[in-house]
Structure 1
Amino acid sequence: MRWAVVFLCLILCFASTPSAAAGRALIILKSADLTEMQATIASLEALGAHVGHVIPPRTLIADVPTQVESQVAALPDVAELHRGAVPAAQGDAAVGVAVWNSLLAPQQSVVNGGNAKPLTGDAFEAPMEARVSVYGSNAPGTYQTSSFMVGKVAVGVVLPESSGGTEDWTPERQSDVLSRIVSGLDWWVQKGGSAAHLTFYYEPRFGVPTQYEPIAMQGAADEETWVSDIFRGMGYTSGFTRFDRARAYDAYLRRTYHTDWAFALIVVDSLNDADGQFADGHFAWAYVMGPYAVMTYDNDGYSISRMSVVATHETGHVFGAAARSSSACLMIV
C-alpha cells in the first residue's frame, strides 16, 4: 500500500493548482444523452478547458480559459455558460445549478473540524478475501476500483431511506448533501491540478429503500447487515458480502460513465439523532482502496456545514491514504 500513499502525498503536496486565470464556469448542455455529453467534454478538453465535475444529465463545472469562452459557448451541445451565480433551475439541471451556486459560496477550511472528534481510526481495510488481486494486475479490474487518484472518477452518492424509523430525507437536504460532497472533492481537483487531471462524475442515488434505519444501527460493527441491505435496495444482490455488492455497483459506474475509477459514498441521515454518530461512536469511515465510504449527515461536531471536510478526508482513504499519511498531507497543504 506504500506506493499508493506516496503517490497521493506527491499529488497533494507538489502538484500545481489550476491557474485562477483559467476561470471556473458552469456549462449547461442541451442534450441529456451521456454519449453526447462525453463528446462535448472531449471537445472542451481539446479547446484547453478542463471539466472537474460532471453532474448528469446536463451540467458540467469546468475551468474555461477566457480566450476560448466564445468557442466553448458555440459548441453544438452547449446551451448556457455562466461565470457567476445562476437563478434556481427546474428539471434535470436543477441539482447541477444548486451544486454550482454552492461552490461559489465561501467554504470551510479542510483542516477545521470545529468541535468534532479528530478524523482518526476511520481508515478500514476490507477482509483479505475481498482484496484479492487489488495489486496484482496491470489493468484495473473488479477489485481495483480506486488505485490511483488520477483521471476520471465516478462517485455514487447513495442516500438510503428507511421504510420507517425516525429519519426522512427532504429534496432540499439531499441536494445540499451532494453540493457539499462536490465541494469536498473539488479540493482534490484543485490540488491535483494538471498532474492528476481529475474529473469526478456523480450519480445521485437518493432515497434508496432499506428495511433498516441506518443511524439506529451499531455502525461499523454491523454494516454487513445494513450496508448489504442498501446495495440490495439498489438491485445488487449477487455475491456473498457487502463488498461483492459494492464492487458490482462500482463496476456499473465505471461502465456507465466510462471512468477509470469508481466508489460509492453512503450518507446516512442523522438529522434527528442526538449526536450524529452510530451507536459504536463512528460517524465516518472509508475502506482503503475502496469500494465504498460512509458518512452521517451530521458527522459528529463537523455538522452538515463541514461535510465537505469529511468528504475530502474519506476520499483520500478510498484512494489508498492510510490515516496518518492522509492527515499529514492535508495539514501540509
Structure 2
Amino acid sequence: MPRPSSGRNALIILDTEAAHAALTLVREVEALGGRILHVHPPRVLIGEIPPELEDQVKALANVRALHRKRIELSEIASLGPEAIRAVRAWNRGFSASLRALKSGRPGEGKSWGAPGYAPEGPMQPPPGVQYRGKDAASAVPGPGGAEDTSAYLIGKVAVNLILVEGEAPAYAFTAMEQDTIVAEVQDGLGWLASVEPKANVTWLYEVRRVRVDADPARDPAFSEDTWRDAAMAQLGYPASWEGLERFVRDRRTALGTDWSFAIFVTRFPLWHFAYAFKPRVVLGYDMDGWGIGDMDRVTAHETCHIFGAADEYAESKCDCRERFGFLQVENGNCELCAPTHVPCIMSHNTWAMCEYTRAHLGWRDSNGDGIFDPLDRQPIVRRPWWIEFLERLRAWLGLSPARGL
C-alpha cells in the first residue's frame, strides 16, 4: 500500500460516533470508486481516495474532514483516544526517520530463512492446544476444534492489536514506538488488502496497551503463556488460550466483521521473533536481525498464515505436496520443490505474492464467474480427468505438482 505521502491516501474523520457510521461510509466510498482499507472505530477511516473524488467524499453524510497530509493533534484532541492514536500513527508515516527505515531495508529481497537473520517461528499450536486439519495453516483452532475466525481473507476483518508491556523499563514502549507499531502493522495489512481489490478486505482496528506484572528474571518457567494469559485476564477474559479465542470471537461480533484475529507485540523474550497460529500473531518489537522497519512485511507474512497460507522458503522444510488454506491448495511455490520458484511474501522479504499464496487465502475463481470459490455456491468446474490423473501420478512418484491450480 502506498504511504500517505504518495498523495493518493486519505484520512477521513467522522463527526459522529454512531456505530453504523463508519461501515456505512465504507460502502458509500466504494460506490463512488474509492476504497477504505483501514477503520479505527468510531471516527477514523483511511483509504485510497483519488483526487477527483475528494469533493464527493467530503459531501457524504457524517464526514467532518478529509486529510492528505500531517494532522495537528490539536484539531482532533476532543475526539477521543481511538482517534488520537490513529492520527498519531498516520503522522508517523510522514516522519523522516520512518521513511529512512523504508528506503534502506538491509534485508530487502532476502529469504525469510537467510543466513544471519533470525527465522520466523514455525506454524504450530501452543502446548496443550489441539486442532483439526492436516496442517497448522488450515487448522481450526482450539480444543475440539473451536470456531475458525479467519478461514479465508475476504471481507471485513477485526484486528485486535495488543501491545503487552512489563513493569520494567526494558519491557515498555515509548509513545513514538507505540505509534511506529500501529503504522507498521497498518502498512503491512494495507499492502495485503491492496493485492486483491476484489476480495474487498477492510481492516477494523482496536488497539490496546496492556501492562502485566511479569518478569523473565524472576520466573524460570517464563513463556508466552505467562504474559498472554495475564493480558487476557486484564481484558476481562479467562487467563488461557480459550480466553483468547473467546475474546477474538467477541470482538468480531462487536465490530460486525466477517473475521477476527489478534496481534500481540511485546518486548518480552520470545522463542521466535515472529510466529502465528490461529487466532493470534506474536511479534517481537525488535524483529531480531530484520529490524523494526520490516515489521510491515513480517505482519503481512504472519497474517497470511492466519488466513491459511504456508511458508515457502527452504529453511521451513516446505513440501509442494502439502495442501493449505480453506481451499486446500498445494504449496506449489515451495523453494525446495517448485519447478520455477518465484519470490513471494511467504518466501522472501518482498512486496510480491505468488498464485499459490493467493489460492491459500481463498482468492481463486475456478469457474470464472467473478465469485471467489469460498463464496461461490455454484458447482466448481472440474478439470479434465487426465489432468487429475497426471497430478495423482506425479504425487505417487514423488514429483513436484504442476504449476496450474
Shorter-chain TM range is 0.7 to 0.9
2:118 and 2:289 in contact (8 A); partners too: no
1:171 paired to 2:175: yes
1:201 paired residue number: 204
2:299 equivalent in structure 1: 311
SS in 1 for 2:344: helix
2:213 match: 211
TM-score (norm 2): 0.64
1:35-50 equivalences in 2 (<5 Å):
35-50=20-35
CA deviation after TM superposition for structure 1 residue 130, in Å: 4.1
User: Where does 1:108-127 land on structure 2 (aligned, <5 Å)?
Assistant: 111=109, 117-125=117-125
Identify unmatched segments of 5+ residues in structure 2.
313-330, 335-342, 354-405
Deviations 1:46-98 (A, max 9, x none): 22221101122311111223333212101121111123333345433322223
Structure (1 or 2) with the larger CA radius of gyration: 2
1:71/1:23 CA distance change after superposition, 3 Å: same
For residue 308 of structure 2, what is the amino acid of its counterpart? G
TM-score by length of 1: 0.76
**Is the CA contact (8 Å cut-off) linking 2:7 and 2:68 kept in structure 1?**
no
Deviations 1:255-296 (A, max 9, x none): 1211111111000036xxxxxx53x4x211111xx1101111
* 1:2-81 correspondence to structure 2 within 5 Å: 23-81=8-66
Any idea what the Cα deviations from partners look like across 1:175-218, whole Å, max 9, x if unmatched? 221111101111102212x2221101110011x13221479978
Q: 1:130 to 1:29 in 2, by over 3 A?
A: farther
State the identity %.
Answer: 30
Normalized per residue, the structure richer in helix is 1
Matches within 5 A, 1:149-298: 149-164=153-168, 166-192=170-196, 194-206=197-209, 208-213=210-215, 222-237=223-238, 241-242=240-241, 244-269=242-267, 277-278=269-270, 280=271, 282-287=272-277, 290-298=278-286
**1:118 Cα offset (Å):** 4.7
Q: Partner residue of 1:95?
A: 85
User: Which amino acid in the other structure matches residue 203 of structure 1?
Assistant: E
Residue 121 of structure 2 contacts residue 276 of structure 2 at CA under 8 Å; is this kept in 1?
A: no
Let me know the Cα RMSD of the aligned residues.
Answer: 3.3
Q: What SS class does the counterpart of residue 244 from structure 2 fall into?
A: helix
SS in structure 1 at match of 2:237: coil
Stretch deviating more after TM superposition (108-117 or 151-160): 108-117
Number of aligned positions between the proteins:
294
- Cα 1:30–1:251 change in 2 (3 A) is same
Q: Which residue of 2 aligns with 1:5?
A: none
Structure 1: state its 5+ residue gaps.
1-16, 271-276
* Equivalent of residue 310 in structure 2, options 306, 322, 326: 322
Aligned partner of residue 176 in structure 2, secondary structure: helix
Amino acid at match of 1:233: Q
> Structure 2 CA distance, aligned partners of 1:164 and 1:22?
41
CA drift at 1:142: 5.3
